[in-house]
Amino acid sequence: MTTELLVCVKCRRGAEIPDDERRPGQRLYDSIAEKDLPEGVKVTAVECLQNCDHGCTVALRGDDRWTYIYGNIDEVSQPDLLIEGAALYNATADGLIPWRSRPEHFKRNCVARIPPLEVLDD
């Protein structure tokens, strides 16, 4: 299975950031991209996840599984939490990490969950 961790690189955490400085979302992506990711997990930068005033925002998606969007991510203290969460997500067949196994931040900061695409028989 493959898991994609999407990181919004345009996130500003609701603050104005000068054009010459990296935005918090870009710093989050850069930090994760420098780390060794678990097998089956890749990180992808995206332009905008439309959650601009609620911290950095990421999404987890993969194969025929539920997609989760999380907000209020701190770019300095939470890159490892995201990698741990991506590994837990990757270990599932349906994308549903058991509630007790989820990182606490995931329990409290889920913006949305999106069902998997279903292939319809013609």
CATH number of the domain that residue 25 is part of: 3.40.30.10
Check pLDDT > 80 for residue 16: no
Q: C-alpha angle with apex 48: 44 to 51, nearest 5 degrees?
A: 115
**Into how many domains does the chain fold?**
1
**Residue 66 domain-assigned?**
yes
| Residue 120 located in a structural domain | no
**Average pLDDT in the 9-15 region?**
76
pTM for the whole thing? 0.90
Q: Is 56 domain-assigned?
A: yes
Q: How far apart are CA 90 and CA 70, in angstroms?
A: 16
- Which residues form the domain of 45? 3-114
- Alpha carbons 69 and 119: distance in angstroms, whole number: 22
